[in-house]
Structure formats: structure tokens, C-alpha cells
Amino acid sequence: MRVMAQMGMVMNLDKCIGCQTCSVTCKQAWTNRAGTEYVWFNNVETRPGQGYPRRYEDQEQWHGGWELNKRGRLQLKTGGRLKRLLSIFASPVQPELKDYYEPWTYDYATLVEAPLGDDFPVARPKSLITGEDTKVTWSANWDDNLGGTSELGHLDPIVAKIRQESEDKIKFEFEQTFMFYLPRICEHCLNPSCMASCPSGAIYKRSEDGIVLVDQDRCRGWRQCITGCPYKKIYFNHKSGKAEKCTFCYPRIEVGIPTVCAETCVGRLRYLGLFLYDADAVTAAASVPDEKDLYEAQMDLLLDPEDPQVIAAAREQGIPEDWLDAARRSPVYALAKKYRVALPLHPEYRTMPMVWYVPPLSPIVDLLSEQGHDAEDRDVLFGAIEALRIPIEYLAELFSAGDTEVIDGVLRKLAAMRSYMRGINLGREPDESIPASVGLSGETMYEMYRLMAIAKYDERY
Amino acid sequence: MTDTSRTGLDGAGSDALLRAGRFFTRWEETDDGRAVFREGGRAGDVFYRDRWSHDKVVRSTHGVNCTGSCSWKVYVKDGIITWESQETDYPSVGPDRPEYEPRGCPRGAAFSWYTYSPTRVRYPYARGVLVEMFREARDRLGDPVEAWAEIVGDPVKRRTYQQARGKGGLVRVSWRDAIDMVAAAHVHTIKTHGPDRCTGFSPIPAMSMVSHAAGNRFIQLIGGVMTSFYDWYADLPVASPQVFGDQTDVPESGDWWDATYLMMWGSNVPVTRTPDAHWMAEVRYRGTKVVTVSPDYADNTKFADEWMPAQAGTDAALAMAMGHVLLKEFFVDRRTPFFVDYVQKYTDLPFLIRLEEHDGADSGGGLVPGKFLTATDLGGATPEDAWKTVLLDGTTGEAVVPNGSMGFRYAESGKGKWNLDLEGVAPALTLAGDASEPVEVLLPAFVDADGSGTVLRRGVPARRVGGHLVTTVFDLMLAQYGVGRDGLPGEWPTGYDDASTPYTPAWQAERTSVPAEQCIRIAREFARNSEESGGRSMIIMGAGICQWFHGDATYRAILSLLILTGAMGRNGGGWAHYVGQEKCRPITGWISLANALDWSRPPRTMTGTSFWYMHTGQWRTDGYSADSLNSPLARGHLSGKHTADVIAESARKGWMPFYPQFDRSSLDVGAEAAAADDPAQYVKDALADGRLKPAIADVDAPESWPRTLVLWRSNLFGSSAKGNEYFLRNLLGTHSNVLGSENPAAPRPSEVAWHDEAPEGKLDLLVSADFRMTSTTLLSDVVLPAATWYEKHDLSSTDMHPFVHAFSPAIDPPWEARTDFETFHAIAQRLSELSKKHLGTRQDLVSVPLQHDTPGETPRDPYDTTPVFQVVERDYTAIADKLASVGPLADTLGFTVKNVTYRLEEQVAALARSNGVMSSGAGAGRPSIATDQHLAEAILRFSGTSNGALAVQGFRTLEERVGKQLHDLAEGSEEKRISFADTQAAPVPVITSPEWSGSETGGRRYAPFTVNIERLKPFHTLTGRMHFYLDHDWMTDVGEALPTYRPPLDMQRLFGEPALGSDGQLQITVRYLTPHSKWSIHSEYQDNLFMLSLSRGGPTVWMSPQDAGAIDVHDNDWVEATNANGVLVARAIVSHRMPQGVVYVHHAQERTIDVPKSEATGRRGGIHNSVTRLLVKPTHLIGGYAQLSYTFNYLGPTGNQRDMVSTIRKRSQEVTY
């Protein structure tokens, strides 16, 4: 066992309002400069939707992440290392500007400077790449709030996949409307495929906290990492000719300040904390044959910070005491492992991502409303998990390699928490059968409630 | 399980090969070469460390137009603002609640972009053609005022620069020239036309009180007119004055946490209350059910347990049906004690209403409910008896005049009795019983989509009291809602499933599309929750229901649900109206100093909607008369009247203000009146005999035009100007996109003269101060470069949180930018200098309406009233001195808010010590407010919420009238005083004060009306209780005495717009709604590159796939929206979240960014409000009648815009600019 520490993040999608404050504060701080106009280390996409860059989840097209080869060994989707070494000068498969978007600005100065004419001056859009007049046809967040989704939503790779089973599963019709938001940063994976893709060894994982960085001095602009990352969270700076990515705000983290995206999240849905994991077991965990086992395999990597053996092994590795203490108080560990409500994004990419998500609850469908249930029945007040608006299959494709049982388990916990707390809130005797029905004690459920709902600053970070 | 010995990468061959290469590498890897770990030697990190470094972090916030009032950290490096992120240091709200940190949104996060953006206004600019004329004339004449007089006196010159408005040609000028021109224009206007032709507009003071007050104070000192914003924005829910006698008072967002049932009705919280939305998400984890009512799948629906997709504008039908269920099941089938106790104490339900014979031919005769029975009806002889309402003691059956009604509020006899103590009386809610007789009453209803009325015949129990046939408001409510009881005559619904009778669940389903079962279930849940939780059912209400023509009726129907269930005045319960509120928590200091009440009173304040409706000529194209709104039972008070007549009548009676006042200068009238024995009587006589005429009587005559307009902190022409194209054409005199023409067949007013030729170009001067180029700056004659929110000192508060906090300069205003404070002082300085020659000291006759919260709201005959006329002396040479110092009236008269006067002698003296005093001039010896920080200090010093001594003093004063203990609410805070420095250090929680209706005492969350409910302090209404019934003649005539449903206006019937739907051509007529955008705060940020990059990069129209398909439109196609008012050109966003028949053109999309020429007119497409117009509801003009009385931003006609329809066409995709 080789214990290492890893900074992780949990985002509770059930609280995300899709406001994009995180995107803006991140961009202002990090990528508001020449060469990175189109770059959003943090972006928030509406789902269903194509995401940014478009259809990044379609690995048949983009070849990101890992797969198991015929021998059952982990191999980059772009092929074995030998093959990649030999084809290093070939242009890598990677999104083009049109897949992100062509950044633009406006001829603002004309508003001030226009000479006397016969009509209002207006600022026309100009491409930031060519400087020419342009027509805006795609942006960093084009399909926000289902804009254009009735026409383009079928291009969402998850929609396409689910519809292969049945066209009826997802319809873009008014009565069936559903949506949620997916904020994304670099996953700072335990098994980063970007790092493995880099021919220059410029990408590294910091040993003390697992933050994955591109060494700006060493990067040679091969762009293999952009292909290698299945989340498309490495970007090419077209001015410097180097790769850039989310740094987990290490200059802040090092002095005890949360990442910009986390601290500025007005939904208060981001949690930061330490995981302890067994670095020696990563490759094995990432190599389990059945994709649906990857979630459990990833969970197994996370070590219990209260376990004396783990603590001893961590000390041996030189992990300081205050870090061990932080690992014990880690909200991300609690949400991922203790309460098991936070899930990894696309575990099937086999990168062991370290940004975790609590899947969103969603309103009950109208069908249930029309049946005129009796509101006195507490179980009905919040509707049934089976009847949620967001198809559970959709969430499963994102967070559990298609395993709907995992999603169902999380949503049941959230629903149970609401029922349990309603009783307490109204001064009734706490109904301990509710937490028991989802395998939690009342005390644990109350703890979970405090962490998810009250979520004080010191408890989030 | 995987065999770990076999796991690894690729295969053995490549492992070996690659391992060989690693000899030469220096980093540490996993054994399988999968991962690289590295410690030390991280030179490559330096770039990001450098990027993060900064020199200082400054606390500031964003001003004006947002209710967020979020505290921000502004980062500065090398004297340059780099970016911002949120402060997280709000004082804790307690261990068991989420905190306010971090407040903010993407728009605020993108603000610093403006600092150095190419759209920044860096220097003063002026319209080139005007500047040339001005400089030439000034050089020649040697006097800027005479130069201005010559230019505006020459019709050709005047039209030349007016017609150049909005068409470029701005040239850079010096501050000196800019100020010279502005000051000269004001002096000339005051001298020639009178000061009430000088207008100012700057909205929402709470989020930058100092910047607002500086200009407002200047305008008031010169005798100018400030136009309102809250009613003008249609953010004012007129139902609030009607029901509560309060402008609006709402819970802080932290109180959502106390709710156990939370509805969001027409309020898209994640978009419009972004920093607060987390409470809504979090309270669900506490077991609170969340329900949304919205015509589209709005952002907040993502969080809802249930979505009630009521069709746009039909919300009141749903609310009435929910009320039907509630009244039937919780008051009739079962008397719910919690609800019954509440409505007996706190509502007008037990009060008696006189039933009168209706003589109308249409109705065929019958009884109709009339006015409240008063003590006068029972033989009372004092004037105040007319304002004392009556109920029956449920035990004895005797008539009782309980404490607390308006008759107790001002009269000497009411001292100590203005309270809600029923003194042992248990009021009878219903007269049903032995002593009553069942009678049939006629009630109006508006069930047809064209808005016309019908008559319902329903029974109530009645009896005679003091010779009058009466029933209770409660009995009328049951009749109105169609809740039958045995033994009553009339026609009643057969059950919930009776779809043909209002207001059953089945009836509403046909109008709203909300299933009847869902309506019934939600109504029950809502009420049961309230019963079980002690009133913790909350409804967040928003612009989606407020900004309709009949938004007040909708609000009353929804408020009824809250009041009937005992939820108002509770933590976690009641209404939460969040539409452009502007809660200046330190209100007394701000409002008094802004209005310069320390130097002269009264100020001239004007209802924005009627001002713009008249002065932009929109009344001339109004296609209907007030009759169209009448109930079939109307008794003719509005019959035959054009809306302009109603405005004129309301002004003539002193119900609502109108400026300019007279056909002559108010200075000339002032001089004459001052010479008379009784100045007010002199004016009344002159008006009576025709020597003097109201300006509105010939509003289009040049002597009635407003002449100057100063805009700061506002973008009138790019944002709030409903009927924008009429503003351009008639007020400004430049080109417009008005597509309709005046209909010769439309009714003409009788009180307002008609000119066949509509005047174009009324304004001589339009000035705006801004930091970015907007539609308004493009139209302005003079554009002044304003400091941004990160470049000045100011104060911010909101009703969303309980804190006051500061703006601070992160940098000095760059280039030639100045703060609004400095700008107005510069104008005042120059105006004072020029006045030595041109104005001197003058007597100004000021005309103001009867005011709410003053004895004026209880006139002897409320239907025969006049304005209040007063002479005010103005020394125009001393304006700058007075602007910079606190005047003597602060000490001698104190400052009064809501009829509580705060005595300030000690506070003025203390302020003089801290701020210092002026050494010379008119303000010599008076406390200085000569800097923005001084003014901030004074605002805080003079307000109870920020000065505990005043809070306690105010409560003690109020106790004398109420006769109940109140001062303990602030006791212990006497020593607490929030200084400006405190607010700069961190947000500071305010002190409980009689300025507001709720209490923070003991660290509780603020919820409105908790003091009324818990301390028996009356509401500021006729009965002193919350009102279901409004008995003013005009309310009765429009059929809105009781809560009711009124459909959206039928624009085909009223304005001849096409019928809704497709006409078979490639065009479709739809409802044109303007909800608030995710990418802007009003017009601000809609031009911000970050917001544009995250959205569609320009103006958009959201539409359903069905409507788009009908006109062959695909996502991102260019479309045009037209109607008689104008044209909008935008790109379509096609989405299935939109319902059919409705488009969303998000509010405040301007014409500055990517707007091509329109096909309809060949000219630049308009703003979102180019396709709207003003529609004035006559009942909003009622005044001088208890709670239905004027106060600035408290009551006035709303500038509603939601009833619009527009025709959408696909246009050529090859656009030109």
C-alpha cells in the first residue's frame, strides 16, 4: 500500500442553478488573455446538450481516455504507446475551433466614435481570430437552458445512446422537458490519460496533493494530451503554443484558500477536501473488466482516514499530521465514501476522476400530479423516484457507466433525507424508519443533511 | 476480480522499450509508467503564480439595478483592476442555517470588464452640431445662458440637433464646456418656463444611495421633478398598497429557510435572485415542498417538486380556484381555528359592507355591495368617524367600532387606540344565523377572453345595522368565490368539476391548462402545511405575474391564499415579492437628504408612468377608453373617459401628481401667490376662474413640455421606456420605428386638448452620466463620463439580506471620469454662479397631491379634493452651498417617515462634530456633506436602522399613537450606531426600527409585518387590517372591489392588433413577454463580452418549436417582431421548454450590440421595449383615500408591458447594418 493524498472536489448538482459565476470568475482569473480567448477551464453545460467542446463525450470520435486491450491491459484509446510514439508527428485527433467556438468581440468603439449619420451606431461582431466581421453561430454555452435543443439535442452522445434502446425514452417536448447543469473542471484524475499521452513528460501530478499540471517550460505543444483527455479539459494556447489546463488554483490552495470556482459558487454546491488513496492499486482498479464495476473499484481506492493502518502507512509516506487531520474532516470523503451520494463523472473512461457529483433530483412528472395523490401521505408529498423528470438512464450514463441502480440508491437517500427532515422541521417525532430504509442511521442522515444543506464555509472547504 | 499481477499498460514489449528511455528522465513515476509525480523543480508553475499575484483587495459592490447587494473583493495589481470575486465575510445568521456567503452572480463577476473596455465613456462628449452652435453663441454673447436661450429659441437650430440624436456625431468636449451647457440649460429653463420643466430620473437608490441622493438632492433644490421608478417599472405590486397599505415589505432570502411549503409564482429565482437561490435549493433538504407556477419550463422548475404550467397571464384564475378550495374546505366544511382566529384579528373579513340597490339597466336591478359601514353611518359626528369601520360582536350581535382603523390614526381622539386590540370582542365573520336574512347580490366577473364582464348572482346573509342593510366581507368573499352554503339564494357551482361556473378548479383548468386535480391538491397541501406549521407557507412572487395590466388583481387573488391561511407576518410564511425592490434600509436619512427636506419642503415627485404616457404622446394612440375596463355593474365614474382624462382628473383632485403644474411658470405663480393673503386659496381661485390652467389640460402645447432631462444611474432609452419609439419620436424628436398611426375613430379626451399635429422634440436637453455607451448615451446631447462602482464611495442595502455595506474605490476614476456626486456638485456650482445674474431668489408655487401616511389621506370628502399648494423660497445662487450641507429644517422639523417624526437635534450636532461644518455661504455653520463619505455618514446617522438611538426614539413616538409597547424591539441598541467605516470593514446587520414592519430583534430573520401581527400595530389601511375589500368608487366600477380574475388585455379588441395564432402566411402573432435575462441585469452586462460569449452573442427571441415551425424558422435564424409600436430584430432560440403561442424577448436587449437594419422600416431595429407601449390602469390613479393615496414609488400607475402581442416573421438571413 502506498498512501497518497489527493485534492478532490464534489459538486452537488442538485443545488446547481447553472448561473455560470464559476465560469466567469475562473476565466477572469486564469484565461482572460491572448491565446486563451476560447478557453474555459471551468465551464457549465446544460444537459441534455452537446457540451463544450461539442460532443466531447463521443470517444469513438475523439479517442480520449483509456480502454482495455485484448490482453485486458490498460491502453490509451489512441493506441499503444509504441504506436503513438511512432506517429508523434501526425496531427492528433482533437477538437477544432468550430467544436469549441470561434471567439469574437464587437466593434464597440464605433458607439463612441461614429460620425453623424442617419441611424443609430451599432457594434457588430468581429472574430477574435481573424479580426473580420463574423456571424455568431456557436458560443461557449450555446445550448444553455435547452436553447436549440429541440433541433440539436439528438447530437448529445448520451441522448443518442439512450435513444438507440428506445426513441421514446427522451423526447424533446414541452410536457416532458427536463434539464440540469453540469459544471466541469479538470478531473485531476488518479489515472490521468493526458499525462500518459504526453510525449514530453510535461504533465505531472503533484505528489503532495495530486493536482495535475502542465509544466509550461517543458511543454512542446504536441497536443497529444488534448486527444488523451476524454473530458477535453486540456486546451491549446494558440499564442504560446503550449497546453494549458485547470490548475485547481494551486497558488490559492497552497495558502489555504479554496479554488476560485468553489469559493465563488453562489449555489454553495462545491466541496473541497482531501482523499487518501492507495497509489499502488490504481492501475488494477482502472483495469476491472466490467465498466459497471469501475465505480466500486474507484471507491475501493479511497482509504479510510480513520483506519490506523492507513494512518500508519500515510505517516510512512511522509504525509504530515495536519494533512491527515484534513483527510479525516474531508467533506469530499464524507459525500463520496461515507454517505455514498457523490459519484465520479464517466467512470468508464478509466481515468479515476477526482471531481465527484451528487446527481440532481427533479420534479415529478405531470402524470403523477394528475392522479390526485393525497398530500397527507408523506411519501407522496415529494413524488416517487420512479417518476422523476430526468430519466435515470441519462444520469447513469454520466455517473455510473450506465448502472441505474447506483443512481437510484443516491436519489433515494436524498429523498429520504427530505422526508426525515420534514418531520423534524415540523416538530414531529423523528421517524427512524426513513433513514433505515436507505441504510443510514438517523444520526448519519442528520450529519449528511447538515453538510448538504447548511454547508458552512468551513465545512465545505 | 482482476488479477493484479497482469494489470498494466499496453503490453510487455512496449513497457520494456519505454522503460529504457526513462533512464534519462528525472521525475518519479509509478512502476507501470502510467503516472508522473513530481516534487520541487517546478519552474513551470511560475506563470500561474504570477498571474494570481496582486497588490491589494478592495471591498466594493455593484450599483443601481440589482437587488443582490453583494459584497465583492476587487483585485488590483499595478494600479489596474484585474478581476473580482465575492466576499464571504457576512455576519453569521446562526449555527443551524446556511449563511449568506457567497453572494454574487456571473454578471457581477464580469463587471470589471467595463473598467477598461472599449465601450467605456472616458471623456465628456456632446452632440457635435449642438456644441458648435453653443460655443459660437457663447463666444458671441458672452453668456452661456443667453447662448442656450438663442439656440433653443430658434426652431431650425433646435430641430437640427434634436434630429441628430442617436445618430453618432458625438464629439469630445471639456468638462468645463459640458458643465457650462448643462448649467446654462437649467438656468434658462427655470427662468423661462419654471423649475418644474427640469426633470431627473435615477432609479433604485438602495444600491448606491449616495450617488442617487446627490443628483436627486440637486433636482429638488432647484425645484425640479424626479420621476418615479418602482411603479414605472411595473415592479410595484399595486396590490401591496391596496391590501397592506405599504409599498412593499418582504422577507430577506434567509427567511425562505423557515418556510415549510414554498411556491414560486412567476418568479424565476435562479435567474433573477441568483445570490439567494441557494436558500431555495437548500430548504428542500429540510423537507420543504417546492412548487413552481410558470408558463415555460423556467430555470427554477428544475428544483420543483411540482410544476403548474399556467398559461401566461391566467395566474389569477388558478389562484381564485385555489381560494375556492381553501374557503370551502377550511372555512365552511371545517372551521379551522388557526385560520379563523387570524382573519378575525388581522383582516377586514369581519367588517360590515353596506348593500345597496343597483339601478343599472344591464343588471336588471338587485343588491350590490357598496362601502364599508362606518361610525358616521351609526350616527358618529366627528370627521374621523367617517374613517372608522364597523364589525359585529359575534357574542352579543352588537355593532362595534374596534380600534385601529384610519379614524384612530391622526385624530386627537385616537391617541393610544390605533391598535388591533379587539378588547375581548370576538368579531362575527359571517352574519349567517337567526338574525339575518338571505339576500341575493350581484357580483361582476370577467370570464371571457375578450375581457368583457358578466354578472354573477349569489346570496349572502344580511341584516340591518343602524338602518343600513349590511353583510360582512367574509360573506361576500364566499359569494365571490362561489362557495355555497345552505339556504342562500343565487346560482352556485355544482362542485369542483363544474367547469362553467367561476371560480372552480375545473373552471380554471380551461383557462390555465393546470389540471383541476393538481389545483385542488396544491391548495389543500398549502393550507394544511400552514395549519400544521403555524403559517409557514410562503409564495415567492415575481415579475411574471406582477407586470401585467391586471397584475394587481392577480396579486390580490394570490395574497388572499396567504392571508386566509394565516401566513402573513410570519417567519417562513407569507408573500415574498421580489421584483425590483429597492429597500433603502437606512431610509429616513436617505429619503430626507435626497429630497433636500433639510432645506425646503415639499419636493416635486412624479409618477413616471403617467408622466411618460402623456409627454411621449402615447395617449394619442391609445385606442380605448376607460369604459373598456368597466364592470357591467359600473356606476359611471369612469364612463366616457379617455385614459388621459383620468390622469388629468386625478391630478386636478390632488390624487396623483402631474408636472409641469400650470400653463405658466410656477415661479410667476409663486410670486403672485406669495403676495396674496392665502397663497393656496389664491391658486385655487385662479384655477377655478380660469386665470390659471393645469399644464395637462393642454399637454402638447410648448408651455407644457418638459425641457431638460438628466439621467444618471439609468438607461431609460435602452431599458425601461415602454413605447420606446414614441419616446424617440415625440419626446426627443428624432427618427423612430413607430409603425402604427393615430386612429381617427379612437375616442379623444375631453379634459386634455387635442392638437392634430403631434409635437415632436419636446426636450431641449438630454444629459446622461454613464460609464458605458448605451442607447441613452447615444441619444444624449451631453454624455458625462461616470465613475464605476469600483471607483467611488457609496452605500448599499437590499431587502434580500439584512446588511448595509460599502462601495469603496479600488482605483481613482480613470481618464476624465467623475463620480455622480462630483458631477452634480460641479453642475450646482456653475448653476449657482450663473443664477447671480439670471435668477436670484424666487418664490416657487409647489403643488403636491394628498399623501399616504399623512392626515391628507383622510379628507372630509374624498371625491372632492384638491392638491396641496405651497410656496417655497429658492435662492438659486445658493444651490451648491445647500447641496453640500445639512440644512436647518433637519433640526427644527426633524425627518418624518411613515408618520413617525424623528427629532434630530442631537444627531445633527454629532454629525457636525464628525463631518465638520461649512465655513461660509448659505450652509455656514451647518454639518458638511460635501464629500461622498460625509453624505454616507449622514444617511446612516439619520436613520433608525443604522442608529439605535433613533430606532428607540421612533418606537417611543409610535407607542403614543398605538398604545402598545414597541420600544423593546430596539432596546439595547441605543448605543449601536453603524458608521460608514463599519460598512467598509464588513457588511453590518441593521437595527429593528419603526421604518419597517418587521423585526430582526434577537437575531431572527426579517419577515414583513411581524410587528403588526405580534404587537397589534395596525396596517396602514382604512380598517387597519389587511384588505380583501376595496370600496373606492373606481374600484367598484372596474369590478375589483373583491379579489377576482381578469384575463390579459385583448389587444385585438383594444388596439386592432392581429388575432393570436398563424394567419397561413409565414408570420405568426404571439404573446410577447419580456422576462429578465440570465445574461444581464436590465441592460447592464448585455453588452459585456463575457456574458455574450456565454450566450448567443446578441438579441434573441425564445420560441417554441411549433411556432418556429409554422414560420419556417430554425434555431439562430434572424426574425423580426413587429406591431403598431415598432420593430425588434433578433435571432431565434428555438426550444421545447417554451410553450406554444408565447415568445420571450428578454428584458433590456438594447440596440447597441449586433442589431441590424429591420426589413419593416429599413432603420436600425429597436430595443425590447420598441414593441411595447404604455397602458395605464385607471384604478392606479386613485388617491386621497386611506391606503389608496399617493407617495413616491408607493402608488401610481404601473408601466406594465406584459399584455403585448407581436407578429413574428422570418426575415432575410442576409442582414445589413
Contacts of A414 in chain B (CB under 8 A): 285
For residue A346, count CB atoms less than 10 angstroms from its CB and return exposed for 0-12, middle for 13-18, buried for 19 or more.
buried
Question: What would the DSSP string read from start to end of B688-728?
Answer: HHTSS-BGGGGTTSGGGS--EEEEES--GGGTT-TTHHHII
Separation CA B30–CA B47 (nearest Å) = 27
Contacts of A202 in chain B (CB under 8 A): 44
Chosen from B31, B257, B302 to mutate, greatest number of chain A CBs within 10 A: B302
Query: CA distances (Å), B91 to each of B94, B949, B988, in order?
Result: 9, 22, 7
Contacts of B1133 in chain A (CB under 8 A): 147-148
CB contact under 8 A, B1098 and A74: no
> Which of A:104-133 have CB within 8 Å of B?
104-106, 108-109, 111-112, 114-125
CB contact under 8 A, B112 and A28: yes
CATH of B1054-1174+1187-1210, one of 1.10.10.10, 1.10.1740.10, 2.40.50.100, 2.40.40.20: 2.40.40.20
Q: How many CB atoms lie within 10 A of CB B500?
A: 11
Q: What mean pLDDT do residues B1062-1087 have?
A: 93
What is the separation, in whole angstroms, between the first and last Cα of chain B? 66
Contacts of A182 in chain B (CB under 8 A): none
* Distance from chain centroid for Cα B806: 23
CA of A75, closest CA in chain B: separation in Å? 5
Separation CA A111–CA B206 (nearest Å) = 30
* Domains in chain B: boundaries: 12-46, 125-232+585-625+641-961, 239-325+514-577, 337-506+1016-1037, 1054-1174+1187-1210
pLDDT at B669: 98
> Which of A:316-335 have CB within 8 Å of B?
none
Q: What mean pLDDT do residues B908-915 have?
A: 98
User: What is the per-residue pLDDT across B316-331, written as a single tens digit (0 to 9) for each?
Assistant: 999 999 999 999 999 9
CB contact under 8 A, B166 and A19: no
CB contact under 8 A, A205 and B121: no
pLDDT at B4: 41
CB contact under 8 A, A18 and B299: yes
Separation CA B236–CA B541 (nearest Å) = 12
User: What is the per-residue pLDDT across B607-630, written as a single tens digit (0 to 9) for each?
Assistant: 999 999 999 999 999 977 788 899
pLDDT at B5: 44
Contacts of A387 in chain B (CB under 8 A): none
CB contact under 8 A, A283 and B9: yes
Instruction: Please state whether B208 falls in left (phi above 0), alpha (psi between -120 and 50) or beta.
Output: left
Contacts of A15 in chain B (CB under 8 A): 278, 281-282
Contacts of B287 in chain A (CB under 8 A): 418-426
Residue type, B19: R
Separation CA B653–CA B639 (nearest Å) = 18
Separation CA B762–CA B784 (nearest Å) = 22
Contacts of A112 in chain B (CB under 8 A): 118-119, 121, 125, 170, 773
Q: What mean pLDDT do residues B677-697 have?
A: 97
CB contact under 8 A, B109 and A21: yes
pLDDT at B187: 98
**Nearest alpha carbon to residue B604 among B865, B872, B982:** B872
Confidence of residue A388 (pLDDT cuts 50, 70, 90): confident
pLDDT at B626: 80
Out of B287, B533, B1094, whose CB is closest to A140?
A: B1094
Separation CA B170–CA A115 (nearest Å) = 7
pLDDT at A376: 44
CA of B1166, closest CA in chain A: separation in Å? 10
CA of B1177, closest CA in chain A: separation in Å? 33
Interface contact A88, partner B, CB < 8 A: no
Question: Residue B1097 above 60 pLDDT?
Answer: yes
Q: Which residue of B has its CA nearest to A262?
A: B102
Kindly state the DSSP code that residue B1026 receives in the 8-state scheme. B
Separation CA B1001–CA B992 (nearest Å) = 6
CA of B937, closest CA in chain A: separation in Å? 31
Out of B49, B88, B1136, whose CB is closest to A149?
A: B1136
Instruction: For domain B125-232+585-625+641-961, give the CATH number.
Output: 3.40.50.12440
pLDDT at A79: 85
Interface contact A239, partner B, CB < 8 A: no
Separation CA B330–CA B351 (nearest Å) = 20
CB contact under 8 A, A108 and B118: yes
Output phi, psi for B421, to 5 deg. -75, 115
**Nearest alpha carbon to residue A184 among A14, A393, A9, A7:** A9
Contacts of B84 in chain A (CB under 8 A): 25, 28
Question: Residue B674 above 70 pLDDT?
Answer: yes
Three-state DSSP string of B324-340: HHHHHHHHHCCCCHHHH
Contacts of B1154 in chain A (CB under 8 A): 106, 122-125, 136
User: What is the per-residue pLDDT across B228-287, written as a single tens digit (0 to 9) for each?
Assistant: 999 999 999 999 999 999 999 999 999 999 999 999 999 999 999 999 999 999 999 999
Contacts of B1138 in chain A (CB under 8 A): 174
CA of A163, closest CA in chain B: separation in Å? 18
* Distance from chain centroid for Cα B861: 30
**Nearest alpha carbon to residue B196 among B618, B694, B656, B674:** B694
Question: Residue B1202 above 80 pLDDT?
Answer: yes
CB contact under 8 A, B168 and A206: no
Question: Residue A371 above 50 pLDDT?
Answer: no
Percent of chain B with pLDDT over 70: 96
Contacts of B11 in chain A (CB under 8 A): 69, 71, 73, 80
Kindly state the DSSP code that residue A339 receives in the 8-state scheme. S
Interface contact A430, partner B, CB < 8 A: no
Question: Residue B776 above 70 pLDDT?
Answer: yes
> Which of A:341-380 have CB within 8 Å of B?
360-364, 366, 369-373, 375-376
Contacts of B104 in chain A (CB under 8 A): 21, 264, 266
Separation CA A230–CA B80 (nearest Å) = 38
Q: What mean pLDDT do residues B507-526 have?
A: 96
Separation CA B425–CA B392 (nearest Å) = 9
Q: What mean pLDDT do residues B39-64 have?
A: 86
- Three cell numbers written together for B1092: 455574450
Contacts of A81 in chain B (CB under 8 A): 9-10, 14, 18
Residues 6+ apart with CB under 8 A from A161: A397
Contacts of A264 in chain B (CB under 8 A): 85-86, 102, 104, 109
- Three cell numbers written together for A31: 484565461
> Which of A:145-204 have CB within 8 Å of B?
145-152, 172-174, 177, 179-180, 190-192, 195-196, 201-204
CB contact under 8 A, B281 and A15: yes
Question: Residue B363 above 70 pLDDT?
Answer: no
Q: Which CATH architecture has domain B239-325+514-577?
A: 3-Layer(aba) Sandwich (3.40)
User: What is the per-residue pLDDT across B411-455, written as a single tens digit (0 to 9) for each?
Assistant: 999 999 999 999 999 999 999 998 899 999 999 999 998 999 999
Separation CA A162–CA A174 (nearest Å) = 19
> Which of A:271-310 have CB within 8 Å of B?
279, 281-284, 287-289
Q: What mean pLDDT do residues B1040-1065 have?
A: 90
**Mean pLDDT, chain B, as a whole number?**
95
pLDDT at B20: 45
Structural domains in chain A, CATH included, are: 18-101+140-260 (3.30.70.20), 269-275+290-303+314-460 (1.10.3650.10)
Separation CA B471–CA B476 (nearest Å) = 7
User: What is the per-residue pLDDT across A307-346, written as a single tens digit (0 to 9) for each?
Assistant: 999 999 999 999 999 999 999 999 999 999 999 999 999 9
Q: Which residue of B has its CA nearest to A380?
A: B305
Q: What mean pLDDT do residues A158-163 have?
A: 97
CB contact under 8 A, B128 and A111: no
User: What is the per-residue pLDDT across B534-556, written as a single tens digit (0 to 9) for each?
Assistant: 999 999 999 999 999 999 999 99
**Mean pLDDT, chain A, as a whole number?**
94
pLDDT at A190: 98
Confidence of residue B26 (pLDDT cuts 50, 70, 90): very low
Question: Residue B12 above 60 pLDDT?
Answer: no
B9 in Cβ contact with B3 (< 8 Å)? no
CB contact under 8 A, A420 and B287: yes
CB contact under 8 A, B11 and A452: no
Instruction: Please state whether B1143 falls in left (phi above 0), alpha (psi between -120 and 50) or beta.
Output: beta
Residue burial B1094-1130, b: 16+ Cβ < 10 Å; e: rest: bbbbbbbbbbbbbbbebbebebbbbbbbbbbbbbbbb
